[in-house]
Structure 1
Amino acid sequence: MSTQLEALPYRHVVTLPTEPSSVRMARETAEQALVEWGMGLRHPAVDPALLILSELVTNSVRHAAVLSPQVTVIYAAGRDCLAFAVHDRHPYQPPLHDAATGTGAGGPAGSGGLSTVMELVLGLGGTAVVRADADGRGKSIWITLPL
């Protein structure tokens, strides 16, 4: 996946405090980046992508703030792909497969928001992956959606 992301010509990174207002700020930053990159906000992938982003940042705010004072959002896009990641410094890695299938205990992140995320990602033909930081003390959830 890293090769694919390296090929995406548009990128933007924002680091925000792990607090509720950051959900709105991450979403507004995404909208601004998409407009600057020439993608219309009426594109069929945009609303689901913004909802996915909001859910992931909300999860970081709710569950990671105790260990992670900041959340970083990475936005990337190309001609036929939109990708973004939400990174925090909490070591818990939610089981995305369990969220997609509705199985498992749900873990600290709960199953509601991640189930919605996975339903949207899979419905759009996208991918979702959790990547641990090299030191094991944080993670990024990467979402890739076709355009």
Structure 2
Amino acid sequence: MTTQLETLPYRHVLTLPAMGSAVRIARETTEQVLMEWGIARRHPSVDPALLILAELVTNSVRHAAELSPNVTVVFAGGPDTFAFAVHDRHPYQPALYAAVTGTGTGTGIGTGGLATVVELTLQLGGTAVVRGDADGRGKSIWITLPL
């Protein structure tokens, strides 16, 4: 995928307290955003995107809340692309593709939520990227999916 995120015409930003209800609210907001952008709920990328988003928000709530009281979800979209990022202010940057190959600190090949995130993203022909904040004290995990 070569879509430049900056060129996508649709944008939405959601910031929530890093607590359990953030997952439900982020999913519901994603469904609403997609509907407003004209992407049908039955589109084959929607359910996997909701699962990926829920996993990333869950990880931020579980692992980053102590250092990051908020989690932010940024949505970007266009006619053939849906992208979103989950951002927190915890400095740890996971090795996304190591989660799938078992070369990271995980317990094996394809284990854990990040492995699911990467596998689903790749199955849909998308990309997953970790981008650190300029000050090194936070990160965003960007998922870009074709529509």
Q: Same fold (TM over 0.5)?
A: yes
Give the letter aligned to residue 73 of structure 1. Answer: V
Q: CA deviation at 1:100?
A: 2.1
2:48 aligns with 48
C-alpha spacing 1:49/1:3, structure 2 compared with 1 (3 Å): closer
Q: CA deviation at 1:99?
A: 1.0
Give the letter aligned to residue 43 of structure 1. Answer: H
- Aligned partner of residue 41 in structure 1, secondary structure: coil
Give 5+ residue unaligned stretches, structure 1. Answer: none
Give 5+ residue unaligned stretches, structure 2. Answer: none
CA distance in 1, matches of 2:102, 2:28: 30
Aligned-pair identity (%):
75
Give the letter aligned to residue 129 of structure 2. Answer: V
TM-score when normalising by structure 2: 0.94
CA distance in 2, matches of 1:102, 1:55: 19
1:119 and 2:128 equivalent? no
TM-score when normalising by structure 1: 0.94
In angstroms, what is the RMSD of aligned CA positions?
A: 1.7
Q: CA deviation at 1:3?
A: 7.2
- Aligned partner of residue 94 in structure 2, secondary structure: coil
CA contact (8 A) 2:88 2:140 kept: yes
Spell out the pairing of 1:1-147 with structure 2 (5 A cutoff). Answer: 4-106=4-106, 111-147=111-147
**4+ runs of 1 displaced by more than 4 Å?**
none
CA distance in 2, matches of 1:112, 1:33: 28
CA contact (8 A) 2:98 2:104 kept: yes
Which digits, 9 at most, give the CA deviation of each residue in 1:73-106, with x for residues without a partner?
Answer: 0011101101000000000000001012132213
C-alpha spacing 1:39/1:3, structure 2 compared with 1 (3 Å): closer
Q: CA deviation at 1:2?
A: 10
- Aligned partner of residue 4 in structure 2, secondary structure: helix
